[in-house]
Amino acid sequence: MENIINWNFDNSYSRLSDAFKEHIKPVAVKNPELVLINESLAKELDLDLTKINKDKLSSLFTGNTLPEGSNTIAQAYAGHQFGHFTMLGDGRAILIGEHITNGNKRFDIQLKGSGKTSFSRNGDGRAALGPMLREYIISEAMHNLNIPSTRGLAVAKTGEKIMRDTLLEGAILTRVALSHIRVGTFQYIAARDKKDELELLLDYVISRHYPKLVNSKNKAIDLLIDLMNKQTDLVVNWMRVGFIHGVMNTDNMSISGETIDYGPCAFMDTYDPKTVFSSIDHMGRYAYCNQPIITKWNLSRFAECLIPMIDENQKKAIEIATEIINTFEKNYEEKWLEMMRKKLGLLGNHSTDKTLILDLLTWMHQKKVDYTNTFCHLMKFKVQEEDFQDRVFKDWKKRWNERLIINNSSNEKSIALMRTVNPLVIPRNDKVEETLDLAIKNDFKMLFEFLEILKTPYIEKKNTYKYQIPNENNKEYKTFCGT
């Protein structure tokens, strides 16, 4: 172990019962080479990387050198994958430790693609460069869109080839998260049928993520309510920017409320509620419009884990949990409406708001118009002007203008509100692919330019326009469970 970076580790999760994890070291890699480092995130973590040479960083961010104070583990979890219950766990990720910032914030530092663990099943424990850079790009975009997300601190090549459809360059992503505890973690412990372990996990999660609930009379009930609120906010945010996660399995739903596990995710261009990008999602289970429904479904699986801790009387516990879960739709609808009102700059509530919003979405769907750029047009940015000459749209705009008058406020105020929630740029599929194609050929120029643009998605910059227009081919876009 070496003390290269000023990590400040306190590994609370690894002190929990052995039921929760496997102690294991990353498998050494042949020829580590750092390709990307997130300087602004390092700063937020109070890490000083400036005086460290590239070789040392490469060795560190591939797990070849383990930092002092680390305690490496693979976490155990289960999950409903496309509706089917499976025992999983970190099959290719290792938690290095929990880093505490100067401001006393705790973050998991995890290496993804770090080699086999006892949870690897048939996998090789490795990851390819393209998908790790993709996770880095999209999670940074999400963070800068003001959406809670895990983030990438570094991407490093392993110097080893890995076998997928073809031979690909291996890489490791250093992922930073509030924690990697998932709904699936609760499912794993609940399946062991040991109430003391479940209570340990509940107490741990509350002290780490929901400290306000420490003195709650019924922690399980209050955690269910709070997680439901967090996840509802999260999915409303996804809907706001047209993000489609792609694999909303319960093992990919974080207890901290962050977006986690960027596999076949992608952003919608043309508005179509049924949009699915993932090549393996044949039934459209995780389509754009299904995301709130699946959020509720996943929360129901979470509630099931909590039953023994909600009430000793199982029937009563189920009634209480069901009642909470059944508030999801109303809660979601209210939050979604509030978000859509902001997208249109509407202040206050008006009884016709929902119809106004739905009529715009219906028009976008029927005319196959770009979701992001419609709001850009309404904010008076010139993008794809030809799409907005349509009669139906012009009539709608008249109604919208009439509604803006009821705001009883200035137009500038409305536009200012809209500009806080309507991005000018999202990581469009063709641009992500083009960036990755170049990067895997060792050309990182576009990657750096793209990351710079994605840093300020609500602000117009010199190169913004280049990233605003969707490519026609995006309509056929498919994503693969990028591993």
CA distance linking residue 43 with residue 432, whole number of Å: 26
Residues 81-100 that bind ligand AMP (CB under 6 A): 88-92
DSSP-derived secondary structure letter, 124? -
Task: Pick one of ligand AMP, Mg ion, none as the site partner of residue 343 (Cβ within 5 to 8 A by kind).
Answer: none
Report how many residues bind Mg ion under the rule CB under 5 A.
2
Q: Minimum Å distance from CB 260 to ligand AMP?
A: 9
| Tokens (6 digits) for 187 | 């499912």
H or E segment and range at residue 361? helix 353-367
Residues 258-277 that bind Mg ion (CB under 5 A): 261
Would you call 153 helix, strand, or coil by DSSP?
Answer: strand
Chain position whose Cβ is nearest to Mg ion: 261
Closest to ligand AMP by CB, 12 vs 483, is 483
In SS3 terms, 291-351 reads as: HHHHHHHHHHHHHHHHHHHHCCCHHHHHHHHHHHHCCHHHHHHHHHHHHHHHHCCCCCCCC
Task: Pick one of Mg ion, ligand AMP, none as the site partner of residue 341 (Cβ within 5 to 8 A by kind).
Answer: none
Closest to Mg ion by CB, 169 vs 261, is 261
Q: Minimum Å distance from CB 292 to Mg ion?
A: 20
Closest to Mg ion by CB, 24 vs 221, is 24
Given 67, 263, 423, 470, the residue binding ligand AMP (CB under 6 A):
263
Residue in 331, 139, 371, 349 with CA at minimum distance from that of residue 236: 331
Task: Pick one of Mg ion, ligand AMP, none as the site partner of residue 186 (Cβ within 5 to 8 A by kind).
Answer: none
- Kindly calculate the radius of gyration of the chain based on its CA atoms and give it in whole angstroms: 23
Would you call 172 helix, strand, or coil by DSSP?
Answer: strand
Distance separating the N- and C-terminal Cα atoms of the chain: 29
357 alpha-carbon distance from chain centroid: 26
For residues 140 to 169, the per-residue mask of contacts with ligand AMP, x marking binding by CB under 6 A and - elsewhere, is ------------------------------
Q: Minimum Å distance from CB 124 to ligand AMP?
A: 5
Percent helix, strand and coil across the chain, each to the nearest 5: 45, 15, 40
DSSP-derived secondary structure letter, 2? B
Q: Minimum Å distance from CB 80 to ligand AMP?
A: 12
Q: Minimum Å distance from CB 111 to ligand AMP?
A: 12
Residues 178-217 that bind ligand AMP (CB under 6 A): none
Residues 100-129 that bind ligand AMP (CB under 6 A): 119-120, 123-126
For residues 253 and 182, the answer to whether their CB atoms sit within 8 Å is yes
Task: Pick one of ligand AMP, Mg ion, none as the site partner of residue 348 (Cβ within 5 to 8 A by kind).
Answer: none
Given 133, 173, 247, 310, the residue binding ligand AMP (CB under 6 A):
247
CA distance linking residue 386 with residue 208, whole number of Å: 51
Annotated catalytic, 251? yes
Tell whether residue 108 is a contact of Mg ion (CB under 5 A). no
Task: Pick one of Mg ion, ligand AMP, none as the site partner of residue 92 (Cβ within 5 to 8 A by kind).
Answer: ligand AMP
Half-sphere exposure of 109 (CA within 13 A, CB side): 31
H or E segment and range at residue 219? helix 219-241
| Tokens (6 digits) for 118 | 């006892």
Q: Minimum Å distance from CB 54 to ligand AMP?
A: 27
Closest to ligand AMP by CB, 246 vs 345, is 246
Report how many residues bind ligand AMP under the rule CB under 6 A.
18
Task: Pick one of Mg ion, ligand AMP, none as the site partner of residue 120 (Cβ within 5 to 8 A by kind).
Answer: ligand AMP
Q: Minimum Å distance from CB 91 to Mg ion?
A: 9
> Which of the ranges 218-226, 244-252, 367-375, 406-414 carries the binding residues for Mg ion, by CB under 5 A?
244-252
In SS3 terms, 173-210 reads as: EEEEECCCCEHHHHHHHHHCCCHHHHHHHHHHHHHHHC
Given 114, 150, 232, 252, the residue binding Mg ion (CB under 5 A):
252
Selected catalytic residue, list 251, 281, 353, 370? 251
> 39-43 long-range contacts, Cβ below 8 Å, gap at least 24?
41/151, 41/152, 41/153, 41/176, 42/153
Q: Minimum Å distance from CB 297 to ligand AMP?
A: 17
CA distance linking residue 233 with residue 228, whole number of Å: 9
Residues 10-69 that bind ligand AMP (CB under 6 A): none
**Which residues are at the interface with ligand AMP (CB under 6 A)?**
88-92, 119-120, 123-126, 247, 251-252, 261, 263, 481, 483
**Which residues are at the interface with Mg ion (CB under 5 A)?**
252, 261
Catalytic residues: 251
